[in-house]
Chain A
Amino acid sequence: MNNCRDELLDMPEWLLKDEKYIPQSDRDTFVNKSILSLLKVISRIKTQDSGKTARYNVNATLNVAFTFMLLILLSISRSFIFVIIINVYLLLVLSTMEADNIVKILRVSFIMAFFTFIFMLPTVFWGNSFSCVMITSKVFTTITAVNILSHSARWSYITSAFKRFFVPDIFILVLDITIKYIVMLGGFALNMLYALKLRSVGKNRSKYASLSGITGTMFIKSKEMAEDMYNAMECRGFTGEYHVYSKSKFTAADFAYIIINVGIIFIFWYFERI
């Protein structure tokens, strides 16, 4: 299998013997938890790019604007009925989406609502159950609405929709770069965490040193990435201006969406008057 010289390297004796090692216990869940968070984040960004959106595709600008409007109305509203109506509306929208998205969205909404409920529980014992019920349900509705937006529109469309709201182009560029680099830097960080995990063979007395070594390396790497990216941009003629081209067409779904949202405004106004 080889044609190398027959020079035998002195291998140290400890390398020639099998290690008889029994690990001690050590709590280093932080590595696993960090790995899981990063995996979730990276896969979330990657899947949203796959193009599988809801069947009824609404123009991203409208989606962003009306979702925002919905959040404000919900926040102001003192009518529980209004919150319920919006919830039913969101459930109907959810039912048009893909099953795995539905599960993801509902899971987050339920968890956040649950924690809100626990957090608000003491007020019930003071005789005020209004806050608990209202805020918990509002939280559920709000989280569902925002998640429907982020799952039904491609993020590049959402960021370019900001252009319609007088956000400077450069800011949108920074947003787009950030999303891309969360994946790249995140992947780098993930591998570092794996490497740490694989070398965590015993008791790590300096967990902070390891974690800060990883984070520090991440930072240095991120600066290099930025440098590389700037050079690449310059080579392609970037002069500081970034034009966001939003390709928007209005479809029937958009008109229906507008009408529904105008209806929501009416309903809100109706219940506020009472």
Chain B
Amino acid sequence: MHIPDNYLSPAACAVMGAAMVPAWTKSVNKIKNEIPKAKIPLLGVGAAFSFLLMMFNIPLPGGTTGHAVGGTLLAILLGPSAACISVTVALLIQALLFGDGGILAFGANCFNMAFVLPFLGYFVYKFIKDRVKTEKGEYVGIALGSYAGINVAALCAGIEFGIQPLLFRDAMGHPLYCPYSLSVSIPAMTIPHLLVAGVVEAVFTVAIVAYIKKVSPGTIYEGAKQKTKAIYGLIAALICLTPLGLLATGTAWGEWGADEINKTVSGGKALGFVPKGMANGFSFGAVMPDYAVSGLPDIAGYILSAAAGAAILIILFKIISSLKKDKVGSNIE
């Protein structure tokens, strides 16, 4: 579910980042009030826990493995505000220090996994738990909460992807970022999560909470003492939908589908036809629009190639000599 860089336009990234600022501020304030400085180490450790959780391979039927995010799990165990900060820090470390990518998309990823996932999941859980006051009810709440949380988060990601080609095209009509529109991106994101990842997340969350309840119930977040009012759930849903409003400037829902079909047909390359460029053999000029490769004077081109060649040679040399060193070192007497 992690969105990599270059799939979202900088504008979208900035908007999502801006949307996260109030969420982060609110979480930090809530934490400061609810839990004093004692919990600063807890945030760090919670973030470490969140990070490691995302590394775990979870067995899936058929022998494959998958991953869980654990946002709702953290919200249930530590409270949604602490979960927000923990997942944020974990994502930051993944993106920046482990180089997994997703630095510009950090705002969007946090929105999906550090805001929507824990908060929505937690509200659904609390909503059900407060109304069905049995133990079974609580577990149903946990399962539905985590399932809903991750699916809505996936939906948000799908929307963030799918909006790109509709809003950000160049002069020739090519999408600059994610080229798949909503009709592709939404099913592509939501279906695997509805069928597989959501179930994994729900089962995993229930199992872990059940274990902790049995072993050490005192460590679980107590939460607000009064019943959640339905209004808060509504507000949460509204908060989730607002950024969509920010992005969906000016276009009505129904027109998007038609637009997309238009573009495909106008290029003259509907499905079943071989694109002109490919039929005539592969030439670079046909691949890249003129403006993308123009503007480079010959001499600059030569310098560029020389620099590239030199760098590649040095790199190869270094790698080869380090391989050789290993071989020599293994002959220890």
Which residues of A line the B interface, CB within 8 A?
A: 27-30, 33-34, 37-38, 41, 44, 48, 68, 71-72, 74-76, 78-81, 84-85, 87-88, 91-92, 94-95, 98-100, 102-103, 105-106, 108, 112, 116, 120, 123-131, 133-135, 138-139, 142-143, 146-147, 149-151, 155, 158, 170, 173-182, 184-186, 189, 207-209, 211-213, 215-220, 222-223, 225-227, 229-230, 233, 238-240, 270-271, 274
Contact = CB atoms under 8 A, between A and B. Distances in A.
A78 B41 contact: no
B99 A108 contact: yes
Given A80-B293, A174-B85, A211-B56, A68 B47 contact: no
Interface stretch (B89-97, B135-143, B247-255): B89-97
Contacts of A28: 59
Given A130-B292, A139-B6, A143-B101, A30 B55 contact: no
B176 to A, nearest CB: 7
A120 B164 CA distance: 14
Interface residues of B, number: 93
Contacts of B130: none
Contact of B59 (A79, A98, A208): A208
B319 to A, nearest CB: 5
Given A99-B319, A219-B212, A146 B96 contact: yes
Interface in B297-333: 304, 307-308, 310-312, 314-315, 318-319, 321-322
Contact of A212 (B85, B207, B295): B207
Contacts of B307: 88, 91-92
Contacts, number: 291
- In this complex, the member of B89, B96, B97, B174 whose beta carbon has the largest number of chain A beta carbons within 10 angstroms is B97
B77 interface: yes
B293 A81 contact: yes
B183 interface: no
Binding site of A, secondary structure by majority: helix, strand, loop or mixed? Answer: helix
Nearest to B94: A41
Given A81-B295, A139-B6, A211-B56, A174 B311 contact: no
B44 interface: yes
Contacts of B319: 99, 102-103
A229 B44 CA distance: 10
Given A182-B51, A218-B52, A225-B45, A142 B57 contact: no
Interface stretch (B118-126, B144-152, B231-239, B264-272): B264-272
Interface in B102-145: 103-104
Contacts of B49: 185, 218-219, 222
A34 B56 contact: yes
B97 A158 contact: yes
B98 A178 contact: no
B34 interface: no
A151 B215 CA distance: 41
Given A216-B212, A225-B45, A209 B295 contact: no
Given A84-B304, A175-B92, A211-B58, A129 B287 contact: yes
